[in-house]
Structure 1
């Protein structure tokens, strides 16, 4: 039995270490689309951000799912843009791969700043799956996860 509000994890917190990944094939243009999506969010430009998304988008975050671009655009996209514009973030690692017309980009980072009168300091992970459609990469899946950063000793 898991108590309400307690995260279910398969390992103790702080035990996971990023794996070293070797990717023989990686298309940097897929990562450029991910970066352009984030840049649009940071500018507060939800129209541009939505332009990088497939209509068949699926977003997973904190155990919730949004199952289309329209659903995400109508719910969390505006709030994600406000948050991204207000709080700074930087990438600490990235890997990815491509197979035919499907690519994935996995990013690790840290988000720090102040939002709605709260200090924010989070370690973040993000996986995006992209599909090449008519020569252009579109984001078809996003999985975001974060946790509070541990204070420095």
Structure 2
């Protein structure tokens, strides 16, 4: 019987999916028995502070309009989900929504209401809830936002491998 190995991308996606399943099965406030840490609801575990800093730096670069810097925080095979759509790589994101995301970030104010994060080994997830307000393209903006980012530690720092953005009108 011959074995046909899966492509590397499929293995990476499978590993991230399995990691997310394991991560989502343990609430952020659960005790990490293996390391003796307690995580409060709505907090970022000490092991995930570097990943949270990478998320913040990505957003700061977008807000500043520095799209080249923003791209450095994304893995080449990043998968971005937003409003039912998907961009399947850093290059695809750069050629489609990066510019408009930077323009939107510059024209609006985002405030964070709550953030949680956890890391195990080389993987981390950071979840954020907030509100974005302002004016963009002549229209008022007022959105409640949620964001999930999955990151992997690389030799030169944390890189974002998955983003899921969602928003809705308040009320």
Scaled by the length of structure 2, the TM-score of the pair is 0.74
Partner of residue 34, structure 1: 55
Of 92, 97, 110, which residue of structure 1 is paired with 2:113? 92
Instruction: State the partner residue of 1:145.
Output: 166
* Residues 53-98 of structure 1: CA deviation (Å, up to 9, x unaligned): 0001000000000000000011001110000000111100000111
* Inter-partner Cα distance in structure 1 for 2:49 and 2:58: 14
Residue of structure 2 in register with 1:6 after alignment:
none
Deviation at 1:149, TM superposition (A): 1.3
Describe how 1:28-107 pairs up with structure 2 within 5 A.
Answer: 28-107=49-128
Q: How many Å apart are 1:135 and its aligned residue?
A: 4.7
Pair 1:133 & 2:140 matched:
no
The structure 1 residue matched to 2:136, chosen from 111, 115, 120, is: 115
Partner of 1:129, secondary structure, is: strand
SS in 2 for 1:34: helix
Structure-1-length-normalised TM-score: 0.82
Alignment map for 1:10-29 (pairs within 5 Å): 21-22=28-29, 24=37, 25=45, 26-29=47-50
Q: Comparing both structures, which one devotes a greater share of its residues to helix? A: 2
Cα distance in 2, alignment partners of residues 90 and 114 from structure 1 = 15
Shift of 1:99: 1.2
Runs of 4 or more, structure 1, over 6 Å off, are none
Q: Secondary structure at the match of 1:27?
A: helix
| 47 and 135 in structure 1: CA distance in 2 versus 1, 3 angstrom threshold | closer
Q: Which has the larger radius of gyration?
A: 2
> 1:148 and 1:87, CA in 2 relative to 1: closer, same or farther beyond 3 A?
same
